[in-house]
Amino acid sequence: MKAIDLHSDTILRLREKTDENLFTSTGHISFEKLVRGDVTCQCFALFTKMHEIADDDLTPFERVSALHDIFQREVNGSGGRLRQAFSASDILENERNGVISAMLTIEGLDCLEGKIENARKIVSWGARIASLTWNWENELASPQSSDPTVMGAGLKPFGHEVIELFNENNVIVDVSHLSDGGFWDVIGLSDKVVATHSNCRAVTPDNRNLTDEMIRALADKGGVAGLNFCSAFLTDDKSHESRISDMVLHVRHLLNVGGEDVLALGSDFDGIGGKLEVDGPDKFPRLYEALHRAGITHRVLEKMWKENILRLL
C-alpha cells in the first residue's frame, strides 16, 4: 500500500555522511528502501543543530540553507526518480508517473534568527510543514519540558507573526516538540495543524507525546498525528527497543480517542537510535500487517498510510 511518511532526519544525516547520498545511504532511509516500502512521498525535515550540539561556525540560517542545498542536490541528482512535491495533487501526479515525491519540511524555527524575512525565504523554498521549536526555547515559543512553567508557556509575538505568514502561504504548523501552552495557541491561530511525529501520553507518559485532549483537538481541527517510531515515545521500560507491539498500542489509542481521520505515519527515521523492529520504510508492510491483525481494517489503514495526509495537504 502506498505510504506517506511525515518526518525524517535524512538530510542532516547526509550532511554528516559526506560520502553518501540517498541512493547509497546506509541509514534508515535510502531510495531502494523507499521503493520496497511502496512510499509515494517522503517528508524530509531540515533540522538545524543549535546551541551545545552545533558543530560548525555557520549562523543558524546559513546552517538551514546548507541543508536545503543538500535536499535540492538529492532531488535534482535523482535522474527524475524523485521530484519535490508542493501539494496533494503533486504527490498524486508523481505517483501516476512512477516518481517518488520529496516534500520539504522544517524542524525547529530557531534557524530563523527571529527574522520574518528568513521565514519568507523558507516559504519560497516550498516548505509545506514547519515546527516552531525543537528542544530549546527560541524567538517563537518554548519546547516540551518537565518544568511546568516552560511547559505552560504560550507563543511569543514572533510566533504569532510567523503563523500569520504561514496561514497566508498554506504552510502547515507542526506541534511536535512544542510546549503544551504553545500547542493550544497553535490550535487557536493556525489554519492547519499537524503533529508530524508524536505519540500518546496516556500510553507512554513522556512530555513529547500528546494528551487525549490534544488528540481530540487535533482531530477536530482536521489535523493528523504521525506515529513516531522512537522507543522513548513508544514505551517507558527503558529498553531502547522500538517494537511493533508498542506501536500497535499507540495506534489503537489514537484511533479510539481521535478517530480514524487523525492517524498518520511519522517515523523519525535517521533521527532515532536503539534497536528498531521497523528500521526503514521497507519494513512498513510488516507494521501494516501487525495493525491489521490487531483488528484495524484495511480501509482505516489506507487512511493512515496516505489518505489522511493528502486530505490535510
pLDDT value, residue 95: 98
Average pLDDT of span 36-61: 96
Global pTM reads 0.97
**Hey, CA dihedral for 252, 269, 173, 38, is it positive or negative?**
negative
Nearest to 102 by CA among 121, 81, 123: 81
Residue 5's pLDDT is 99
| Of 19-23, 77-81, 104-108, 235-239, minimum mean pLDDT range | 235-239
Find the mean pLDDT for residues 119-123.
98
Region 28-33: mean pLDDT is 98
pLDDT (0 to 100) of residue 229? 98
Handedness of CA 210, 213, 219, 222 (dihedral sign): negative
CA–CA dist 156, 190 (Å, integer): 14
> Using CB atoms within 10 A of its CB, is residue 51 exposed (0-12), middle (13-18) or buried (19+)?
exposed
User: Can you say whether the dihedral through the CA atoms of 232, 210, 125, 59 is positive or negative?
Assistant: negative
Mean pLDDT of the 61-72 span: 98
